[in-house]
Amino acid sequence: MDNPSDDFSGYIMQLPDDCLLFIFQHLDCGSDRESFGLTCRRWLQIQNLNRRSLQFQCSFTMLNFSSLSQTNTRISTLHLYRLLNRFQNLESLSLSGCTELPDSGLSLLPRHGSKLQSLHLDCCFGITDSGLSCVASGCSLLVILSLYRCNVTDYGLEALSNSCLALEDLNLSYCSRISDYGVRAISQNCRRLRAIRISYCRNLTGAGFQGCSQTLTHLEADYCRLEPNGIRSILSGGGIEYLSVSNLTWCTRVNGLVVISVGFAAKLRVLNFRSSRTIGDDCIMTIAKGCPSLQEWNLAICHEVKIAGWESIASHCHNLKTLHVNRCRNLCDRGLQALRNGCKRLSILYITRSSQISGVALEIFKLVRGNVEVKEEEVMCICPHGAFRF
């Protein structure tokens, strides 16, 4: 007597590929999807063609804290070649942490990268302009790209700007070999650019952003040697909502930051000046008056902000909700009193005790402004949630 289960299995195997694909797409559990691919070669091929993302155990983008204790996984060119041949419909690829991956590892992207929208190459120290050229020629739909600590130059950025016109989020932090020339190519050609990180790029003055698109809303340039004209260029598109320019301590013309308030910063909501020890009252007063939409301002360790600066913030920052004043040497009882009497929409004050602020003044602030949450702690990052997608 025939086994009914054998007949059922036969019917399943006769299903066309589009029906099997429909079934696979409705499997929510990862283990079920893996089991699907183990059934037979045909089902494995359907699983492979339906895979949209790929990342490795060494990838920094993986939320798997157990992998942090493991040694770095070596991804060879041959290994990557086989994977890209197997998964030909990838939309997201993370090679972050593949420190020894050479440019040749990206040579298949011109053939199999046409659908990639997100690519992470963080700490791929072997990737240079040659590898970036492969990305440019093969990934025209790229929207998100992270090149954190890659050895690319302006030539690579120029190639990227000529092909990846849909680029929206770009991470160039610690790319020490790029200059304003490469940034200019990106800002002029990639007119959908929304968010960019250029922190620790010491050769950048900011001038490359002149005439940038108004779609540029989020920018981090911590520890950069920005010039006043460069900051003006960053704001020239008129769309900046979040700007981080912390640690400008070496800039001899730091009051050039007053250009933030001139004309193009109407949409600025979050501003980070943390640890910019030489920013003075003139700069603070001008920005307080000229940035009406400002909701969060980090002035932690800004030692040259004195009474005139605090009074100006209190008088003009009508929409300010969060203020960071940790370790500001020149915030005294009088400055705290000004903040207490002004900033009517303030809801959070980050402050640490200092010799300049008496316990009585702080307690009076808490009593009078009971609606303000006083947090005696220091926040290192004030980047808005979702600002960067890498």
Confidence band, pLDDT 50/70/90 cuts, at residue 1: very low
Domain(s) of CATH 1.20.1280: residues in the chain: 16-50
Residues 122-137: tens digit of each pLDDT: 999 999 999 999 999 9
Can you tell me whether residue 55 is helix, strand or coil? strand
Can you name the residues that pair with 195 across neighbouring β-strands? Answer: 169, 218
Average pLDDT taken over every residue of the chain: 87
Average pLDDT of 344-373? 95
Terminal C-alpha separation, the chain: 60
Least confident of 25-29, 42-46, 182-186, 301-305: 42-46
Confidence band, pLDDT 50/70/90 cuts, at residue 152: very high
Read off the tokens for 373. 């949450």
pLDDT value for 366: 97
List all residues 6 or more positions away from 79 whose beta carbon is below 8 Å from its beta carbon.
none
Confidence band, pLDDT 50/70/90 cuts, at residue 257: confident
Q: Which residue's structure tokens are 């207490």?
A: 340
Distance CA 159, CA 182 (A): 9
Confidence band, pLDDT 50/70/90 cuts, at residue 213: very high
pLDDT value for 64: 46
Average pLDDT of 88-112? 92
pLDDT value for 94: 95
List all residues 6 or more positions away from 216 whose beta carbon is below 8 Å from its beta carbon.
187, 193, 194, 195, 196, 209, 237, 239, 240
Distance CA 334, CA 357 (A): 9
pLDDT value for 305: 96
Average pLDDT of 245-269? 75
Domain 53-60+72-152 annotated CATH 3.40.630.30: no
pLDDT value for 355: 83
- Within 13 A of 177's CA, how many CA atoms are on the CB side? 15
Least confident of 59-68, 69-78, 88-97: 59-68
pLDDT value for 67: 42
Comparing CA positions, the residue from 320, 302, 327, 309 lying closest to residue 246 is 302
pLDDT value for 356: 92
Least confident of 205-214, 259-268, 297-306: 259-268
Query: Which of 95-99, 140-144, 245-249 ranks highest by mean pLDDT?
Result: 140-144
List all residues 6 or more positions away from 274 whose beta carbon is below 8 Å from its beta carbon.
246, 247, 298, 299, 300, 301, 302, 324, 380
Average pLDDT of 195-215? 96
Distance CA 67, CA 283 (A): 46
Read off the tokens for 78. 């041959």
- Within 13 A of 316's CA, how many CA atoms are on the CB side? 17
For the full predicted model, state whether its pTM sits above 0.85.
Answer: yes
DSSP 72: P
Percent of the chain scoring above 70 in pLDDT: 81
Distance CA 152, CA 82 (A): 26
Domain(s) of CATH 3.80.10.10: residues in the chain: 53-60+72-152
Distance CA 21, CA 295 (A): 48
pLDDT value for 65: 41
Least confident of 12-21, 167-176, 293-302, 326-335: 12-21
Distance CA 122, CA 138 (A): 19
Write the class of the CATH domain 16-50. mainly alpha
Taking phi over 0 as left and psi of -120 to 50 as alpha, with beta for the rest, 134 belongs to alpha
What contacts 24+ positions apart, CB below 8 Å, involve 188-193?
188/161, 188/212, 189/161, 189/162, 189/165, 190/161, 190/164, 190/165, 190/166, 191/165, 191/215, 192/165, 192/166, 192/167, 192/168, 193/167, 193/168
Average pLDDT of 344-355? 94
Neighbours of 330 (CB within 10 A): 16
Question: Higher pLDDT residue, 23 or 369?
Answer: 369
Question: Higher pLDDT residue, 254 or 113?
Answer: 113
Q: Are 114 and 136 in contact (CB under 8 A)?
A: no
In the predicted structure, residue 192 carries a pLDDT above the cut 70 = yes
